[in-house]
Amino acid sequence: MRPYAIEVIGLKKSFGKQVVLDGVDLMVPTGSVYALLGPNGAGKTTLINILSTLVAADDGEVKIAGYDVRRELDEVKRSISLTGQFAAVDEKLTAEENLNMIGRLCGLTKPEAHLRTSELLNHFDLMASAKKQVHTYSGGMRRRLDLAISLVISRPVLFLDEPTTGLDTTSRRVLWEIILNLKQQGITIFLTTQYLEEADQLADIISVINGGRIVATGTAEELKSRVGGEVIELRNAKDEVIRTIPTSGDMQDIRFTLNEIANKLPHDTKVSLRKPSMDDVFVALTSNSMQVEESIS
C-alpha cells in the first residue's frame, strides 16, 4: 500500500487576478482522516475541487492513490468518491430509488444494486424513511443520504466538503461516527471544515489554510502546543471571558504578563490558566493583525 493517498506539491490556482491557492503542499497518509480547517473564502472548496478532478489547477502536482490528476484522470476518478455534488440526487425519488439508480449507473447488476442499497440504508439509519421522497427529508437525513450515495461503490479516497455545516449537534455527531467508521474500513478521508471541534475530534492530521496557503499542519495536540504553554484567561464578575493571553507557560512570562495588565483591570477580575484550545490555535494562525489582543473592555 502507498504511504500517502494524497500528495500535493506547489499547487496554485487563481481566478482572474485573485490568487486563491498560492503554493499548497500537503501529504495525506493512507487510511487517515485529514481535516483542512480554514475561514470562509480561504480556498477550501477550490482545493477539494482540484483534488477531486472537478477543477484544473494552474500549476503544481497532485497525486491521488498514486495517480496524477492531469495524466491519469480515469484512474483518479476510479479511486475517489465525493460528497457535495447534490446533482446526483433526485428529490422526487425515494432514498431507496436513488441508491438503486446510482448502483445501476455504476454498473451493478439489479440484485447487486438492491443488496448495496439495503446495506447503505441500514448503515446510515435511513431504513424507516427509505420509501419517502427525498424532498421530505431533514438536513441531517439528507446529508446521510448524500454520503450513502457517494459510497455505493467503495473507493479508497473520500472527499467531504464541509460535511456537517448547518447540521444540529446530534446529526453532526451521527455523521462523525459514520466518518470514523469509514476510516476503520481503511478509507482515507479528506474533509474541509470551519468547525474547530470537528477537526479536533475527527482528524488525525489538521492543516490550517489561510489566504491560499497552509499555515500549519499537525495533530490537534501539536497545533495546540505550538500556540504556547498556557493561556491566561481573564473573567469579569459575571464570569464572562474578557480576554485571553497566550504565554510560553513559564513562571517569568506569566508573572510579567500579569504585572503588565494588573492595574488596567477591574478589581473583581478573575484570573485562571488553561491549556490552549483549537480556538486559540485558529485565532493565532488566521488573524492577520493583533486586534484580538487589543480587544480588552
Ligand X SMILES: Nc1ncnc2c1ncn2[C@@H]1O[C@H](COP(=O)(O)OP(=O)(O)O)[C@@H](O)[C@H]1O
Which residue ranges make up the site for ligand X (CB under 6 A)? 15, 20, 38, 40-46
150 binds, among Mg ion, ligand X, none (CB under 5 to 8 A by kind): none
206 binds, among Mg ion, ligand X, none (CB under 5 to 8 A by kind): none
38 binds, among ligand X, Mg ion, none (CB under 5 to 8 A by kind): ligand X
Residue 105: all three cell numbers together = 449507473
- CA 25 → CA 11, 175, 217, 243, 282, distances in Å? 7, 28, 10, 35, 19
**C-beta closer to ligand X: residue 46 or 244:** 46
46 binds, among ligand X, Mg ion, none (CB under 5 to 8 A by kind): ligand X
**C-beta closer to ligand X: residue 38 or 163:** 38
**C-beta closer to ligand X: residue 38 or 246:** 38
164 binds Mg ion, rule: CB under 5 A: no
What is the closest distance, in whole angstroms, from the C-beta atom of residue 40 to Mg ion in the complex? 7
What is the closest distance, in whole angstroms, from the C-beta atom of residue 129 to ligand X in the complex? 30
What is the closest distance, in whole angstroms, from the C-beta atom of residue 204 to ligand X in the complex? 21
Report the Cα–Cα distance between both ends of the chain, in Å, rounded: 55
20 binds, among ligand X, Mg ion, none (CB under 5 to 8 A by kind): ligand X
**Which sign, positive or negative, has the C-alpha torsion 219, 222, 228, 233?**
positive
Residues 6 or more apart in contact with residue 138 via CB below 8 angstroms: 171
Instruction: Give dist(CA 153, CA 139) in Å, integer.
Output: 23
What is the closest distance, in whole angstroms, from the C-beta atom of residue 192 to Mg ion in the complex? 6
> How many chain residues touch Mg ion (CB under 5 A)?
2
What order do you get walking across the sheet with 4-15 strand by strand? 18-29, 4-15, 59-64, 67-68
The alpha helices in 52-105, defined as continuous H runs, are 73-79, 95-105
What is the closest distance, in whole angstroms, from the C-beta atom of residue 162 to ligand X in the complex? 8
Residues 6 or more apart in contact with residue 37 via CB below 8 angstroms: 192, 193, 194, 196, 199, 206, 207, 208, 209, 282
Residue 58: all three cell numbers together = 494552474
Residue 246: all three cell numbers together = 497566550
- Could you say which residues in the range 38-77 bind Mg ion, by CB under 5 A? 44-45
A 10 A CB-CB count for 239 gives 7
DSSP 276: P
**C-beta closer to Mg ion: residue 67 or 159:** 159
**C-beta closer to Mg ion: residue 40 or 291:** 40
DSSP 182: H
40 binds, among ligand X, Mg ion, none (CB under 5 to 8 A by kind): ligand X
What is the closest distance, in whole angstroms, from the C-beta atom of residue 166 to ligand X in the complex? 14
**C-beta closer to Mg ion: residue 113 or 202:** 202
What is the closest distance, in whole angstroms, from the C-beta atom of residue 225 to ligand X in the complex? 26
Contact footprint for Mg ion (CB under 5 A) = 44-45
